[in-house]
Structure 1
């Protein structure tokens, strides 16, 4: 279980940096572990957010007919308590294309009141100005004004959102750039290594951002220094696996 301090530390870094650091551990392929461009951050001005996936499926294109597959927001909220930290609500909209909004102000206010950090869906959202005022992070595939025949299904089961398979309890990190999953067994180390990785990047960044003319020769030298520092960092963390 990760401490609140570690979770807070992970939110100090943007999601691309988190992805860069995860690559150092070589535990998943570099083209896996994150959502694709179909899922976008609605409020890119918000800081990074982190939480544990609370999954559900969703439909809104036809009235629900009942049955064991159907869930409720009450049952969904009950699942928050079983997570090791703040929930990140994750909905897979099964309608193709999405027919109506997965969430609005009422749902987001409710999730926030019960401790959720944010919401992610391949479907649509609405009441975006009101949700922005809540300072509640949401990531969506579209914006749709009506809720249609909204109903949730399959609480707590795996879902696929933005090309990423998400399981109940997965640790998700998101910001203006998108959403990524952090493997839980390296999450604490990712939090520690991220600052060192940024320091390695600064070898190049300080040079290219400084005023004055630039030398390709000097740039190439510094770029190789960065690559060597990143490689050394990668060897160090890989030996811990």
Structure 2
């Protein structure tokens, strides 16, 4: 990914990227995004942008495998998170959803992942230690809770599902307080120009609407220019 595109993606919210993907595709109907309301540990943080490093966890019940197997898989998990193409985002599916109890994302785990150079975490599971999480490592999660339960890693690098969004290991993800999406590979080369075009197009309606004396006639003229710019 070009640095200019990465910088741009980090400067705009996820709804803007969602719209820009449709600009790049030349049609409506893009649907690779989360459904429902998610929670963000730091709503004012910059968006999470990166290539997905996926895993699955569970926490309601104790693991049935031996402690040695669980420890080895946990280390394999951290090795997976610490290596690979960057920028990166951790995407973890909690298999207990919708009855998740295990807050995998607390002060220690977020600090470790930030140390690995990861830009943030996306999960349908639980986060905790709000107020103690490191700066510049937002977590977009399904819920907040106090306990880690019997949290343990089940799978590493496999496809995951987060609030209806299917994510493959290595997918390019954009996430913020609105939720998350996967950027289709075929639009990456066009996405920078699509975002810039979208921002310029929106000014045609936003600038008049924010100006003094805005009325229906001004709206009608602005909307006509806005519509013409999108065709």
The TM-score with structure 2 as length reference comes to 0.90
Query: Given the alignment of the two structures, is residue 162 of structure 1 paired with residue 166 of structure 2, yes or no?
Result: no
> Shift of the alpha carbon at 1:31?
5.5
CA shift for structure 1 position 25: 2.8
| Count of aligned pairs between the two proteins | 228
Q: Find the residue that maps to 1:130 and give its secondary structure.
A: coil
| Cα distance in 1, alignment partners of residues 57 and 114 from structure 2 | 19
Aligned match of 1:99: 101
Whole-angstrom distance in 1 between the partners of 2:186 and 2:83 = 19
Q: State the alpha-carbon separation in 2 of the partners of residues 49 and 183 from structure 1.
A: 16
Q: How does 1:12-91 map to 2 (within 5 A)?
A: 12-26=11-25, 30=29, 32-66=31-65, 72-80=73-81, 83-91=84-92
- TM-score in terms of structure 1 length: 0.86
Instruction: Identify unmatched segments of 5+ residues in structure 2.
Output: none
Q: What value does the CA root-mean-square deviation take over the aligned residues? A: 2.2
Separation of aligned partners in 1, 2:12 and 2:193: 11
Cα deviation 1:141-192 (Å, max 9, x = unaligned):
1101010100011100001101100100111112232211111232232122
| Contact persistence 1:52–1:83 (CA under 8 A) | no
Given that 1:109 and 1:134 are in contact with CA atoms closer than 8 Å, whether structure 2 keeps it comes out as no
Secondary structure at the aligned position of 2:156 is classed as: coil
Instruction: Work out whether residues 91 and 159 of structure 1, in 8 Å CA contact, stay in contact via their aligned partners in 2.
Output: yes
Distance 1:29 1:78 in 2: 39
Higher mean Cα deviation, 138-147 or 215-224?
A: 215-224
Distance 1:148 1:81, change over 3 A: closer
Unpaired runs of 5+ residues, structure 1, are: 232-241
Q: 2:63 & 2:29 partners in 1: Cα distance?
A: 40
